[in-house]
Amino acid sequence: MTEKNIATKIRVYAYNELNEDQKILVDRAREATKGSYSPYSHFRVGAAIRLDNGTIVTGANQENASFPAGTCAERSACFYAGAKYPDVPFSAIAIAAWHEDDFVEAPCAPCGVCRQSLLEYETQGGKPVEVLLAGRDTVYVLDSLRSLLPLAFTEF
Ligand SMILES: [Zn+2]
C-alpha cells in the first residue's frame, strides 16, 4: 500500500489587498449577482470570467420550478464565454454570492458540476486559470481550476 496526499494552496486576502485586476473581477462577479433568478433558494450567485482578449463575461444562477433545469452562475458564464468566444482562453474567474441582505461571509466556491465544467475550459486553454472565491471581506485566491478538482474526470 502506498499513500498519496493532495494539497491545495489557498491564498487568503482581504479584498483591499487584491490587485486592481482582481478587484475589478470580484466587483463584476458581485454585480452579476443582480442577474440571478433564484426565487427558490434566494441565493444569488454571480460569476465573472476574464478572457485572454480582455473581455469579461458574467453569469448568474438561473433556477427553475423543475429544479434540474436550472443552472449555476459559473456554468452560465463559462458556457456563454465558450459559445461567444470560442478558442479564447480564460485567464481568471471570480465568484460571489448574495443571500438575504448582504454578500455571504464565507468565500463562495463552485459546486462539483461547475468545477468539472470549468476545468475543461482551463484544459482547452492550455494554461492555469486564476480563481477568486469572494466572501464579504475575504477572498480566497487559487492558482488554477484544477486545484479545485483533484482527480478530475478526464477523457483519458
Ligand atoms: Zn455549480
What CATH number is attached to the domain comprising 116? 3.40.140.10
In-domain check, residue 116: yes
In-domain check, residue 18: yes
In-domain check, residue 155: no
Backbone angles phi, psi at 34, to 5 degrees: -65, -20
70 Cα: distance to centroid of ligand 1 (angstroms) = 10
2 Cα: distance to centroid of ligand 1 (angstroms) = 33
Query: Is 74 one of the catalytic residues?
Result: yes
- The CA distance from 156 to 84, in Å, is 27
pLDDT at 83 (0 to 100): 98
Q: What is the pLDDT along the chain (156 residues), one digit of tens a residue?
A: 999 999 999 999 999 999 999 999 999 999 999 999 999 999 999 999 999 999 999 999 999 999 999 999 999 999 999 999 999 999 999 999 999 999 999 999 999 999 999 999 999 999 999 999 999 999 999 999 999 999 898 876
41 Cα: distance to centroid of ligand 1 (angstroms) = 13
- The CA distance from 156 to 148, in Å, is 19
3-state SS class at 101: coil
Catalytic annotation, pick one of 63, 74, 122, 130: 74
AA letter at 23: K
In-domain check, residue 127: yes
3 Cα: distance to centroid of ligand 1 (angstroms) = 30
pLDDT at 35 (0 to 100): 98
pLDDT at 156 (0 to 100): 60
What residue numbers bound the domain in which 63 lies? 11-148
pLDDT at 154 (0 to 100): 81
- When divided into structural domains, the chain yields a total of 1
Taking CA atoms, 41 is separated from 79, 100, 102, 118, in Å, by: 22, 10, 15, 23
